Copies of this chain bind each other. A is one copy, B any other.
Amino acid sequence: MIQPALYLLPTTIGESDIDRAIPRANRDVMAQIKHFIVENVRTARRYLKRVDKDIDIDTLTFSELNKHTAPEDIAAYLAPLRRGEAVGVISEAGCPAIADPGADVVAIAQREGMRVIPLVGPSSIVMSLMASGFNGQSFAFNGYLPVERNERARAIRRCERKVYDEDQTQIFIETPYRNNRIVDDLIALCRPSTRLCIAADITGEGEYIKTKTLRQWKAERRELDKVPCIFLIYK
């Protein structure tokens, strides 16, 4: 029997095999949880079925947590845990509460002194950093860059400054249809000797993780449309 706690349950990234992404022990934990807080009920149900095809989905309760959820509703999602039952948080891809709304429910649980237990799973931030060859002793994840042209240029310049002034690897993500634009922007705004690592489709069939200088990327462009990507820069 698992103890009552808020369990943070990573999912696969993209369509990779469960056994490539998730330790076995996660299944045993998930099989004992009846209450789930999820970003999207349909994909969460499908994920649970993929992990354990014998799971009885109809005995489970799902609460949807996304950017439209009101704070008072989020607090109510923890009611089962207040009466001693385990609750699980599942995100759309990878680790919950990193780049998704899950952090709000974790903050409430921590405030109320509830036990929070994170499980192991794939993080595109960590995996791309491992494979980049960049400084892993100091790095920052910046989420999405601003879309507006001037703000975006300022953000890119600030990131590059931190690479040189603070010796800190800078990581950011972009919506897939802007992947090519971000590479253009980096080539236009940063030093040609600054290195860029492009990590695409991590753990997927088409996984591609390459580090080159911006000078090299300019000469050897790669089409990135519609692939989930993560970008890292370093000197």
A140 at the binding interface (Cβ < 8 Å): yes
A109 at the binding interface (Cβ < 8 Å): yes
Q: Give per-residue flags for A105-137: 1 if the beta carbon is below 8 A from chain B beta carbons, else 0.
A: 011111100001110111101111111111111
Q: Are B139's CB and A140's CB within 8 A?
A: yes
A97 at the binding interface (Cβ < 8 Å): yes
A117 touches which one: B111, B143, B207, B212 (CB < 8 A)? B207
Q: Which of A17-25, A49-57, A174-182, A221-229 makes up part of the contact surface?
A: A17-25
**A92–chain B nearest beta-carbon distance, Å:** 14
A87 at the binding interface (Cβ < 8 Å): no
Q: Within 8 Å CB of A77, what residues of B?
A: none
CA gap between A102 and B108 in the complex, in Å: 37
Q: Are A21's CB and B23's CB within 8 A?
A: yes
Q: Give per-residue flags for A153-193: 1 if the beta carbon is below 8 A from chain B beta carbons, else 0.
A: 00000000000000010000000000000000000000000
Query: With contacts A21-B23, A23-B23, A118-B209 known, is A97 near B137, CB below 8 A?
Result: no
Q: Within 8 Å CB of A46, what residues of B?
A: none
A81 at the binding interface (Cβ < 8 Å): no
A8 touches which one: B106, B109, B130, B134 (CB < 8 A)? B130
Q: Within 8 Å CB of A135, what residues of B?
A: 103
Instruction: Specify how many copies of this chain sit in the oligomer.
Output: 2
Q: Within 8 Å CB of A134, what residues of B?
A: 103, 107
CA gap between A111 and B197 in the complex, in Å: 11
Closest to A94 in B: B126
CA gap between A17 and B102 in the complex, in Å: 27
Q: Are B25's CB and A23's CB within 8 A?
A: no
Could you list 22 A-B pairs, sorted by A, with CB under 8 Å?
A8-B130, A22-B120, A23-B23, A23-B24, A96-B130, A98-B136, A99-B136, A106-B131, A107-B133, A107-B134, A110-B132, A110-B197, A110-B210, A110-B211, A118-B126, A118-B128, A118-B130, A118-B131, A118-B202, A125-B126, A138-B140, A140-B141
**A77–chain B nearest beta-carbon distance, Å:** 14
A123 touches which one: B19, B104, B109, B126 (CB < 8 A)? B126
A40 at the binding interface (Cβ < 8 Å): no
